[in-house]
């Protein structure tokens, strides 16, 4: 399926989601129940992307969560959870319980899976960490953002819509904009080049390390203001963009 056709299809699915969210009241009850229980002791890390398109730029969030699972030695523990509409793996970091999620949905409707998983595992929105691609950062840069607007990212927008909150922290991993006038859609749905794949190994290692540090410090009650952008290497600006 061509990138343009896929993008249109994804857009249609997002609009159809507005009908699917006719079950909104039920999900709102679930989210309110989470909030009323207070902090559950669980944290959730979500890799946003298009399921089945793991090597594309738009799904770098899923690649990061896969890397995190390997780092936490739960890469063999992924299970399809139909109740969550996604793949789920459980991990522990010290006394923290982490729920790792890869939604089995297209990017624009990832939020449905995130809301279902938050309800099932009783995780508050402020304890849900979204990992996603960022066009406005070059490949090799990443940072953590403390909630706020979706800034044009449809996967994040879907999560905000379904959770009825924008407080979720995000790990934003730069993929850069296309180097010429080629379409953004084609760029984000395209696969990383072999050189980019090589650079990505270091990017995923360092970005997930930053995320784990942020999660543990946040759970310990330390100041968790927005982190400055991190650069993997001094050569990051020379990474190829296609």
DSSP track, 189-228:
HSBPPHHHHHHHHHHHHHHHHHHHHHHHHHHTT---PPPP
* Better-scored residue on pLDDT, 239 or 73: 73
Q: Residue 239: which of 192, 185, 188 has the closest Cα?
A: 192
Q: What order of strands is seen across the sheet that includes strand 42-47?
A: 79-81, 86-93, 96-103, 42-47, 128-134, 169-174, 141-146, 230-231
Local structure of 48: helix, strand or coil: coil
Distance from C-alpha of 89 to C-alpha of 100, rounded to nearest angstrom: 5
Rounded average pLDDT over 148-167 = 96
Asked if 22 and 162 count as a contact pair (C-beta separation under 8 A), the reply is no
Rounded Cα–Cα distance for residues 53 and 189 (Å):
8
On average, the pLDDT of the chain sits at 84
Q: Which residues are catalytic?
A: 58
Alpha carbons 152 and 154: distance in angstroms, whole number: 6
Higher pLDDT pick, 93 / 26: 93
Instruction: For residues 124-149, give the mean pLDDT.
Output: 96
Beta strands 86-93 and 79-81: pairing type?
Answer: antiparallel
Q: What is the mean pLDDT of residues 45-57?
A: 95
Tokens of 143: 């940072």
Burial of 216 (0-12, 13-18, 19+ CB in 10 A): middle
Specify the residue for token string 């995190």.
68
Per the CB < 8 A criterion, the answer to whether 103 and 113 are in contact is yes
Instruction: Give residue 30's pLDDT band: very low, low, confident or very high (50, 70, 90).
Output: very low
Q: How confident is the model at residue 94 (pLDDT cuts 50, 70, 90)?
A: confident
Give me the mean pLDDT over the 124-150 stretch.
96
How far is CA 138 from each of CA 62, 72, 73, rounded to the nearest angstrom? 18, 27, 29
Sorting pLDDT into bands at 50, 70 and 90, what band is 242?
Answer: very low
- Residue 91's region, left for phi above 0, alpha for psi from -120 to 50, else beta, is beta
pLDDT higher at 33 or 119? 119
Q: Which residues have CB under 8 Å from 66's CB, separation 6+?
A: 47, 54, 75, 102
pLDDT of residue 240: 41
pLDDT digits (tens, 9 = 90+) for 179-227: 877 789 999 999 999 999 999 999 999 999 999 999 999 888 876 556 6
**CA angle at residue 83 from 80 to 85, to 5 degrees?**
60
Check residue 32 and give its pLDDT: 45
* Tally of CA atoms within 13 A in the half-sphere of 55 that contains its CB: 7
pTM for the predicted model, two decimal places: 0.80
Q: Is the pLDDT of residue 176 over 50?
A: yes
Q: Give the per-residue pLDDT at 113.
A: 98
Domains and CATH numbers, the chain: 3-235 (3.40.50.1470)
């Amino acid at each position: 399926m061509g990138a343009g056709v896929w993008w249109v299809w994804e857009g249609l699915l997002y609009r159809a989601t507005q009908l699917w969210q006719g079950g909104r009241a039920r999900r709102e009850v679930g989210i309110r129940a989470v909030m009323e229980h207070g902090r559950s002791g669980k944290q959730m890390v979500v890799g946003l992307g298009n399921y089945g398109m793991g090597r594309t730029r738009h799904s770098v969030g899923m690649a990061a969560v896969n890397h995190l699972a390997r780092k936490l030695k739960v890469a063999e523990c992924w299970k399809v959870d139909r109740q969550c509409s996604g793949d789920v793996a459980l991990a522990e970091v010290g006394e923290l319980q982490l729920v790792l999620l890869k939604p089995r949905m297209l990017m624009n409707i990832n939020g449905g899976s995130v809301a279902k998983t938050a309800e099932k595992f009783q995780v508050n929105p402020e304890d849900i960490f979204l990992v996603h691609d960022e066009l406005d950062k070059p490949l090799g840069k990443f940072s953590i953002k403390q909630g706020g607007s979706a800034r044009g990212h449809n996967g994040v927008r879907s999560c905000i819509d379904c959770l009825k909150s924008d407080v979720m922290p995000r790990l934003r991993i730069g993929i850069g904009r296309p180097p010429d006038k080629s379409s953004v859609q084609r760029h984000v749905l395209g696969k990383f080049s072999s050189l980019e794949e090589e650079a990505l190994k270091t990017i995923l290692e360092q970005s997930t390390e930053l995320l784990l540090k942020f999660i543990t410090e946040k759970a310990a009650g330390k100041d968790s203001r927005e982190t400055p952008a991190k650069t993997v290497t001094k050569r990051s600006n020379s990474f190829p963009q296609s």
